[in-house]
Amino acid sequence: MSAPCIHPSILNADFANLERELSRISSADAVHVDVMDNHFVPNLTLGLPVVESIRKVTDLPLDIHLMIEDPDVWAPKYAELGCESVTFHAEAAGAPIRLARELRSQGAEAAMALKPATGVESYLDMLGELDMLLLMTVEPGFGGQKFLDLVLPKIRRARKAVDDLGGNIAVQIDGGVSIETIERAAEAGADTFVAGSSVYSAQDPDAAIAELRGLVQKVPFS
């Protein structure tokens, strides 16, 4: 497994002061940006114009998580903006292999997300087309939800498949990541962690990132 990566989600940041909020997570490995369309998920956040503005005010890599319909159309546009990683949902993509290849051709890492109830087995054959697999540990659409332990066996299966394949495919989790949950997720095989409220609710978000990273580094399997 690769070194643990912490990707704070700005879903829990102050949207009126995003440049300041980004400066408070300077030690992050990337910025996780949740794009929601009020169709694929029951919430509406931000889109291309805001992401373009974010790109201008931070040098941190942008990890875009598209919780939208028609990612086949929209995902490449985020790659064109210079976002380092673009994640689309398997449940929404019409042609996931073609989309992953298009994202890579645009210079972005290609990532695919699965909801908690979506099995990983149907997608194992396309792992080689991906740079990251995101396993949701809450239902997508809202921050601050409780971590779903029922996803842990799926994380283990995904980790085994990634290790068997070889290469460098990250296993990311998103939802309910905190000091209480991150160690068991790491033990199951996750190496990249999206943390929203546990980072931005802290008085010092960078210190919260360091604490989460330190907990993962203690896990024997990491």
Which residues are known to be catalytic? 34, 174
Q: Is 189 annotated as a binding residue?
A: no
- 94 labeled binding residue: no
- Angle 11-173-16 (CA atoms, 0-180°, nearest 5)? 10
Beta bridge partners of 193: 6, 173
Residue 176, annotated ligand binder? yes
Q: Is 144 annotated as a binding residue?
A: yes
Q: Say whether 141 counts as a known binding-site residue.
A: yes
- The verdict on whether residue 214 carries a ligand-binding annotation is no
As to burial, measured by CB atoms within 10 angstroms (0-12 exposed, 13-18 middle, 19+ buried), residue 47 is middle
Task: Please tell me the number of Cα atoms within 13 Å of 45 on its side-chain side.
Answer: 25
Is 39 annotated in some ligand binding site? no
Using DSSP bridges, classify how beta strands 85-89 and 31-36 pair: parallel, antiparallel or unpaired: unpaired
47 is in an annotated binding site: no
CA distance 9 to 146: 15
DSSP E strands in the chain: the ranges are 5-8, 31-36, 62-67, 85-89, 109-114, 132-136, 170-174, 192-195
Is 197 marked as binding a ligand? yes
Distance CA 101, CA 165 (A): 18
Pairing between β-strand 170-174 and β-strand 109-114 as defined by DSSP bridges: unpaired
Structure tokens at 181: 């949950």
Give binding residues as ranges: 9, 32, 34, 65, 141-144, 174-176, 196-197
Give binding residues for a divalent metal cation as ranges: 32, 34, 65, 174
Give binding residues for substrate as ranges: 9, 65, 141-144, 174-176, 196-197
